[in-house]
């Protein structure tokens, strides 16, 4: 398998999660969320470089991380700009995995599935097929239904051939929801690999408790 880098996007403020500091720096099972996320990629044998993209206000917090082999760079005005800054710091890698710091429970099998798919595809990302009924609504009332056929819940890491996603970001005007949108706008095909229900994105205060339950289950407690 070819060498890969991981770009962890951690420059956001995450206000919906509550707390006195951004969610990536809040405690999860005894250490910051960001520490769990970095560790998930650091232990993968094919990931040769970790790039952490942070807000300038978080420089001190980033310097206190135990992961001495992490390249820390500053984010930009939006997520796409932050990813571009992270991509610019990647060295000696053919593949890159772009991951939301707020998904600290990503597993080695999910990372491997994305990397395996990149052997045959220029882009790949995990996703879960939508299984719930979907409604449209307005003013607190159901206004209709929506077919769930062909709909997926996107996750990260989203993986790409490095030079291809660099070119896609260079050409994109910004404002994309994720890197798959950037890639597809540049004409890149992106394969879907199986997602993981436990690969949750911490967004609201209750998500911390759910994440801790999952971690306790993995540890056998």
Which of 2-11, 14-23, 208-217 shows the lowest mean pLDDT across its residues?
Answer: 14-23
Q: Count of domains in the chain? A: 1
Q: How far apart are CA 24 and CA 21, in angstroms?
A: 8
- Tell how strand 134-138 and strand 141-146 pair up: antiparallel
Which domain covers residue 19, as residue numbers? 4-219
Q: How far apart are CA 48 and CA 98, in angstroms?
A: 14
Question: What pLDDT, in 10s, does the model give residues 18-75?
Answer: 567 889 999 999 999 999 999 999 999 999 999 999 999 999 898 887 566 899 999 9
pTM of the complete model: 0.94
CATH number at residue 38: 3.90.550.10
Question: What pLDDT, in 10s, does the model give residues 78-124?
Answer: 999 999 999 999 999 999 999 999 999 999 999 999 999 999 999 99
pLDDT higher than threshold 90 for residue 17: no
């Amino acid at each position: 398998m070819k060498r890969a880098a991981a770009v962890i996007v951690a420059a956001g403020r995450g206000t919906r999660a509550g707390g006195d500091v951004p969610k990536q720096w809040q405690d999860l099972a005894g250490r910051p969320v960001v520490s769990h996320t970095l560790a998930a990629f650091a232990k993968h044998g094919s990931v040769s470089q970790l790039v952490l993209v942070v807000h300038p206000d978080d420089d001190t917090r980033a310097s206190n991380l135990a992961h001495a082999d992490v390249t820390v760079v500053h984010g930009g005005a939006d997520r796409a700009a932050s990813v571009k800054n992270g991509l610019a710091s990647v060295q000696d890698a053919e593949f890159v995995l772009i991951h939301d710091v707020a998904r600290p429970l990503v597993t080695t099998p999910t990372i491997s599935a994305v990397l395996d798919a990149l052997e045959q595809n220029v882009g790949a990302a995990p996703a879960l097929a939508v299984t719930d009924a979907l409604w449209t609504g307005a003013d607190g009332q159901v206004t209709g239904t929506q077919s769930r056929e062909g709909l997926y819940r996107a996750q990260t890491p989203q993986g790409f051939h490095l030079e291809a996603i660099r070119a896609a970001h260079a050409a994109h005007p910004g404002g994309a929801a994720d890197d798959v949108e950037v890639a597809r706008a540049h004409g890149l095909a992106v394969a879907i690999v199986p997602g993981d229900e436990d690969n949750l994105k911490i967004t609201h205060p209750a998500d911390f408790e759910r994440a801790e339950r999952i971690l306790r289950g993995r540890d056998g407690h």
